Every structure is written in C-alpha cells, then in structure tokens.
Amino acid sequence: MKILSVNAGSSSLKFQLLQMPEEIEISSGLVERIGNKNAEFTLKFNGNKQVLKDLVVLDHSVAVDLVIKGLLQNKVIQSLDEIDGVGHRVVQGGELFKDSVVIDDDVVIKIASLNDLAPLHNPANIIGINAFRKALPNVIQVAVFDTTFHQTMPKENFLYGVPYEWYEKHGVRKYGFHGTSHQYVSQLAHQRLNKENTKIIVAHIGNGASLTAVLNGKSIDTSMGLTPLEGFPMGTRSGNVDPAIFQLMQQKEGYSLEKTLNELNKSSGYLGISGISHDSRDIVQAAEAGNERAQLAIDIQAKRIADYIASYYVLLGGLDALVFTAGIGENAKEVREAVCKRVEVLGIKIDAELNNSRGDKEISRKDSLVKVWVIPTNEEVMIARDVIRLQKHN
Ligand code: AMP
C-alpha cells in the first residue's frame, strides 16, 4: 500500500511517498518558492536525486501537478491508482479536532474557521489539501493536526492567566504544536522503557522547537502555546517574552504591532541573539571560534530549555526518560550537552563519548537516574499511519 504524506507551507510543498505498513520511504521531494518564476523541484527516488530549477510555479495546484508528473515520469509509480491515500499535515486543529480526520467539504470549512489562530500555516495547509483533492478525487485524504496530541492537557495547564472570556469567545489558550513528532518519539521511548506507567520529556529542537511532558503516553503540558511563538528561543523565534515589549518598541522605534510580532517570529532566537544565523551549525561553529554572542545564543536557549525540564520534572512527579529529537536535537551534540549540564542536579547525566556519536542512541551514563535518548523523529510515518487507521474505519 502506498501513502503520500504532504506538508504544504505558504510557499513550499514537501512530500514523502511511503510503502505501508512497512513504513519504507519510496520517494520524497520538495517544491520551493511556489508563487514565483524561479521555483525549484527536488525529487528523490531509488537513490537518485533530480533537481529542476527556474520553474514557473504560480500556485500549489501547479506544484501538485509537478509532483505527480515527477512520480509518473520517473516510474516511481506506474499510475495514480497506486496511491492509496494522502495524509496532510495541518498545523492548527483547535478544539474542533481531537483526532485526525477523513477530509470532506465540512472538514475543510472547519479547518478554515481556525485560520485566525494560525494565519501563517492553516491557509497554506488548506491550499495543499484542495490541490490534492482535485488531482486525486477518488483517494482518501486525511488531515493530521499538530495540535491533537496535546488535546489531553488539563485545563490548568492549557489556560493562561487572562480574562476567562477570551478563552470562551476567541479560543485564547495554549494548543501546543509538533504533536505528531512528540507522539512518535514518546511512543518509542515508552516501548523502550518497557513498563506501563512512564514519565517522559520530549525535546523537539529544530528550527522550530518545543518541549512536551508525556505521562503514560499522554501529553500533559507543552512549551508552545496559542501559536508556535511561545516557549524557549528557537532558530528565529523569541519564545516567551514580556508582552509589554510591544508598547516599548512602539514608543522607542515606532513599531506597529505587526512589525514587533514579525521581529519576534522571524528576527529573534539564534538569529537575533547572535546576529549571525538561524542555523545551529553556524552558531556552533562561531561559538567555537570564540564569538561571544553565538555562545550566548546557545546558553540562553539551553537555560530556558532547562527551566522547562525542571518544571516538567515536578509536574510529572519524576522522570524516566529525556528524549532529544529533530534537526538540532538529533545532530547538535553541543546543544544537548549545554542543556544536560544544566539539569544534572535532577540526576540526568550524559556520557560525552556517547553524546558524540550519531543516530538513534542512548547517551546517558550508567549512573544517570534518567535515560537520555536521541531518537530521530518521523512525522511522515506518523501521518501515513493515521491514513491507514482511518481508512479501515471509513
Ligand atoms: P528541523 O527544523 O528539524 O529541520 O531542524 C533544522 C535545524 O537542524 C537547523 O538549525 C540545522 O542547523 C540543524 N541541523 C540539521 N542537521 C544538523 C547537523 N548535522 N548538525 C547540527 N545541526 C544540524
């Protein structure tokens, strides 16, 4: 059975074609700079990589056509009938979606009703859904939300200390994101712990980053909030700040609300603190070469992550495993080390040599009271699994 996992952004379309239930990648690819005349299409299949440049891709339907033609022309599939289902990543499911869902017209309307909560993401996700529904009208399409895994959070953890009517009237609350990743990784950690009741913290640290406290397989708290801006500093996002910053920046620099919000989303975090780059590789390299602000970017992020770990340790009533995942969590040993040395007091101890090696591995020392693992995430597989689960009930 072949399932397509799709992640549509405002100007990009990422996909992976998976052989299920074996969970083997058949092909993957990316269309970048949609809406431009210099779009790029990358397709990987059978160990080959094809890159087409300077394409005119004015919208997502053209991008979907490119993907489908690419798969057919390169004989990755012989016909469209081979695609048994499509799973779409949707960022915001609000309180409307407690689980993944088979897409119909009503579901699309409901997702669109959440656009105000995720203006940077949901509209793009819907464009991707519509384009694939048009191209593959007879194939089951499933929406998998970043937020559903966190719908198990109790009220005292997801509500803010603001007027209650804001929640009732406008849905102002913490939703959390990266749910498919937190779920995938925590399920693996749960299995490895090999006991019924488990206390796990997942540190998904990529360009966007969040921490989740997982009790017996369920998310009970997470660092991202109403939007992915909340939490600790990321590649370009600030994480938590005092909201009074908005007024000060208006007075001092004449910044509009939108301008400050944009700066907090796009010019902060690693990039803003270091003044060098949003990419952890550049930051680590600069810090090693003695750049103080690059080192500060790593230290500020690590300090804030340690704050969350300590807080979730208390919330969970202890900790069995801390798991690092995503681009930085999986690859940047310096970031893992900077975090772990700040939480040693909790009995979390990593081995420098194990931390230095690559891949799926345990990096904790024998005398650590908590297992520390690096587990590569796989959101595409999680999405494909949900397509199959819902296909069975459809
Ligand atoms: P993601 O958002 O999960 O794709 O992660 C993107 C981040 O992962 C970027 O900051 C990259 O610098 C970082 N990253 C990816 N590969 C490596 C690597 N080999 N070493 C260090 N950081 C990496």
Kindly state whether residues 48 and 130 are assigned to the same domain: yes
Kindly state whether residues 249 and 126 are assigned to the same domain: no
The two tokens of residue 68 are 């489908």
CATH of the domain at 87: 3.30.420.40
Kindly state whether residues 96 and 229 are assigned to the same domain: no
Measured in angstroms, how far is the CA atom of residue 351 from the centroid of ligand 1?
Answer: 22
Residue 374 maps to a domain: yes
Range of 372's domain? Answer: 194-379
Residue 390 maps to a domain: no
pLDDT of residue 392: 86
Residue 153 maps to a domain: no
pLDDT tens string 27-67: 999 999 999 889 999 999 999 999 999 999 998 999 999 99
**Rounded-to-integer distance, Cα 258 and Cα 261, Å:** 5
What residue type is assigned to position 169 of the chain? K
Measured in angstroms, how far is the CA atom of residue 253 from the centroid of ligand 1?
Answer: 33
Residue 78 maps to a domain: yes
Cβ-based neighbours of 273, under 8 Å, separated by 6 or more = 233, 293, 296, 297, 300
Kindly state whether residues 140 and 226 are assigned to the same domain: no
Of the three residues 145, 176, 202, the one that is the final residue of a domain is 145
Kindly state whether residues 127 and 232 are assigned to the same domain: no
Of the three residues 145, 160, 183, the one that is the final residue of a domain is 145
Ligand 1 pocket, residue 205 CB under 6 Å: no
Kindly state whether residues 132 and 11 are assigned to the same domain: yes
Kindly state whether residues 256 and 363 are assigned to the same domain: yes
pLDDT mean values, one per 10 residues, the chain (394 residues): 94 96 97 93 95 94 94 95 97 97 98 93 92 94 98 98 98 98 98 97 98 98 97 98 98 98 97 98 98 98 98 98 98 98 98 95 98 97 97 84
- Residue 7 among known ligand-binding residues: yes
**Rounded-to-integer distance, Cα 167 and Cα 162, Å:** 9
Kindly state whether residues 127 and 247 are assigned to the same domain: no
pLDDT of residue 393: 79
Residue 150 maps to a domain: no
Cβ-based neighbours of 100, under 8 Å, separated by 6 or more = 87, 142, 143, 144, 145, 148, 386, 389, 390
Of the three residues 145, 179, 203, the one that is the final residue of a domain is 145
pLDDT of residue 177: 97
pLDDT of residue 345: 98
Kindly state whether residues 203 and 87 are assigned to the same domain: no
Cβ distance 340 to 350 under 8 Å?
yes
Kindly state whether residues 65 and 213 are assigned to the same domain: no
Residue 363 maps to a domain: yes
Active site members: 146
What pairs with residue 215 in β-bridges? 199, 218
Q: Among 278, 328, 374, which is best to mutate for testing ligand 1, by the most ligand atoms less than 8 A from CB?
A: 328
Measured in angstroms, how far is the CA atom of residue 280 from the centroid of ligand 1?
Answer: 6
Kindly state whether residues 87 and 228 are assigned to the same domain: no
Ligand 1 pocket, residue 206 CB under 6 Å: yes
Kindly state whether residues 104 and 218 are assigned to the same domain: no
pLDDT of residue 33: 93
Domain total in the chain: 2
Ligand 1 atom index nearest CA of 326: 3
Residue 225 maps to a domain: yes
E strand segments, 76-139? 83-90, 101-102
Residue 165 maps to a domain: no
pLDDT of residue 269: 98
Taking 3-state DSSP, the helix, strand and coil percentages for the chain, each rounded to the nearest 5, stand at 45, 25, 35
